[in-house]
Amino acid sequence: MITKIERRIKIKYRVRNKVSGTAARPRMSVFRSNKQIYVQVINDEEAKTLASASSLGLEKCNKIEQATKVGELIAEKAKAAGIESVVFDRNGYLYHGRIKAVADAARNAGLKF
């Protein structure tokens, strides 16, 4: 029987075989821990992070609200770096809860997926 972590890693590798970031459309990767959420916009051709945001410096609120604020923050930073559209990499997590909140907030702030 495989554990949750092993299952997520298998899904992650399956998705990463298909999803890759370019200079025109970088990859927006999301990582969530039990307490925080982190987002990076990555150009895989140059192996370079173009923008990043996390919930570390934000005030205390529930996790969905934190994820929403991080989504808005990453959209602002990406637009400042000249990025209009990205490829969303959910990193093996289900598109549900905090992952969905980050994606929806980034979309509403003007980032195209």
Q: Where are the domains of the chain?
A: 4-108
Q: Which of 84, 72, 91, 77 is nearest to 30 (CA)?
A: 91
Three state DSSP letters for 62-103: CHHHHHHHHHHHHHHHHHHCCCCECEEECCCCCCCCHHHHHH
**Residues 56, 90 contacting (CB under 8 angstroms):** no
Number of other CB atoms surrounding residue 28 within 10 Å: 29
Q: How much is the pLDDT for 23?
A: 83
Read off the pTM: 0.89
Q: Which of 42, 31, 32 is nearest to 81 (CA)?
A: 42
Domain spanning 4-108 has what CATH number? Answer: 3.30.420.100
Tell me the pLDDT tens digit for each residue of 53-71.
Answer: 999 989 889 999 999 999 9
Q: Which of 52, 48, 58, 54 is nearest to 21 (CA)?
A: 48
pLDDT in tens, the chain (113 residues): 889 999 999 999 988 888 888 888 999 999 999 999 999 999 989 999 999 999 998 988 999 999 999 999 999 999 999 999 999 999 999 999 999 999 999 999 999 98
